Amino acid sequence: MATPLSADRLLKALRDEGLTVVEHRSWRTNNRNHKGPWGPTHGVMIHHTVTSGTTSSVELCYNGHSKLPGPLCHGVIAKDGTVYLVGNGRANHAGLGDDDVLRAVIAERDLPPDNEANTDGNRHFYGFEAINLGDGKDPWPAEQLLAIERAAAAVCRAHGWNERSVFGHLEWQPGKVDPRGFTMDSMRGRIGKRLGDPPKPAPKPKPMPTYEPFPGASFFKAGRNSAVITAMGKRLVAEGCGRYTVGPGPRWSEADRKSYAAWQRKLGYTGADADGIPGKTSWGRLKVPNV
């Protein structure tokens, strides 16, 4: 039993679990709260969409259809493992199910057979729809199964639940078969193993390289001694424009000028425009790293 996660907390939990998440349209305010309560929450329900195609499936789950208004879940899990968030709050995904199953989910114990439809599941469960035809033939890519595992684990971790808080639609409502193509026992095993390990932090983005700003054409003159000139020379050598016998070094030399002229010609400059004295445009394209 728990207070439902806010939109920000749900998004963070999914991304912290290593998922690629797309915020679809106005998902943060897309819900059925005007039709009934949302919460307390008790678990995570897994479905298949009985559709194909990412764009159409996501739109269907966001909008619903004439007989069942959307959202039809909270997140849609694509074949490539991307999670598209389509709802935040009460969603039309669980319908009426077995109160004995609800009690088992709350207690995090083995599920009894679902032989009644007497309890509102839309109030209590997060729902993830995985894109699959549900015919037993449509494959379940490894990336998609991993995303189901991660999405369910993310919600469980955020609430302090274990894998017994995750179940399939077929375990809740009589007559349902989803998800078809893998067993929920196997998925719970994966989720339990994941929850037994601390979440791996998302890799830190590599810092963007920074480059020396153009110091002005007058900087490049006889007698100038600077680490910037050495860095420039190394970049010219890397671009195949080095005309050095020794070096490059920190003191501006004729070899630097000839090397830079070769770089200007490589860029398409000719005549006086390829005189070997750096200009702002050619300097920017050389990308001399900060020293």
pLDDT digits (tens, 9 = 90+) for 199-235: 556 677 878 889 999 999 999 999 999 999 999 999 9
> How far is Cα 200 from Cα 160, in angstroms, rounded to an integer?
17
Buried b (16+ CB within 10 A) or exposed e, 206-235: eeeeeebebbeeeebeeebebebbbbbbeb
Sequence ranges of the domains in the chain: 7-195, 217-286
Taking only the tens place, the pLDDT of each residue in 44-97 is 999 999 999 999 999 999 999 999 999 999 999 999 999 999 999 999 999 999
pLDDT at 1 over 70: no
Taking only the tens place, the pLDDT of each residue in 111-162 is 999 999 999 999 999 999 999 999 999 999 999 999 999 999 999 999 999 9
Which position has the token pair 């989910």? 105
> How far is Cα 101 from Cα 15, in angstroms, rounded to an integer?
29
Phi, psi of 45 (to 5 degrees): -105, 135
Percentage of the chain exceeding pLDDT 70: 97
Question: What residues contact residue 190 under an 8 Å CB cut-off, 6+ apart?
Answer: 145, 149
Query: Running DSSP on this structure, what letter comes out for residue 83?
Result: E
> How far is Cα 92 from Cα 244, in angstroms, rounded to an integer?
71
CATH number listed for the domain at residues 7-195: 3.40.80.10
Percentage of the chain exceeding pLDDT 90: 93
